[in-house]
Structure 1
């Protein structure tokens, strides 16, 4: 691919280009592995697992839909679609906010908690084997530092 020289922005140098491509490939492969393993072992995609996990950690196992979408870096419409499926499975229920009828809460049901607890060991095993077993303790600390820096606004 031929790129025209444009001096109005900085191109990636060779090291940055190699790092960027490795990051994209590694991230995609990890997401694919998580999805594949969760589908195979628990019958759910990784996105559903993350919704259940975030709700399990919330006070009273519930969150405002807008807060959950932000936490998961998801669009409200994409989250709403997933929540509909999870409601059909009886893993989540939707509650209206008592003070503001425009606000909807997603709440983890007992069945959803049971499914999450059952899926968690396989999910964690995949994360450990696919990521952390391949890194030194120093690299784990660097990964956290890099990820935290990327999340800064």
Structure 2
């Protein structure tokens, strides 16, 4: 049964603004992407990413986010993959978390390949890094990861 549920979820190659994962569990907040593009032929989708708060105000999160996002069960935090182009490492992914109660966005320092997020409970994000090639399980504890930057939105 778990496998069927996981396979029904969106993934980095196929997600849409209408997907259930874009909305917080209480439907008070949502994540929305601008035009989605492939970073390269056959690569995951990416685009500008926005948070629509409970008053339906739009806040830009980042210019190049991947997806889909994953919300904690309370609907107070959402994890969103962010793509970055670097001089020495090429295109990398990092994990960001938006706290909707504090209106605060945090980008974590750890670099990853392609994130496929599956759960967000007790400040621990689980999923897969590089779900198609040389897959590794992801266990991302927000209390133990190094922060690269934090800003108010």
TM-score normalised by structure 2 residue count: 0.22
TM-score normalised by structure 1 residue count: 0.22
The structure with the largest alpha-carbon Rg is 1
Which of structures 1 and 2 has the larger relative contact order (alpha carbons within 8 angstroms, sep 6+)?
1
Higher-strand-fraction structure: 2
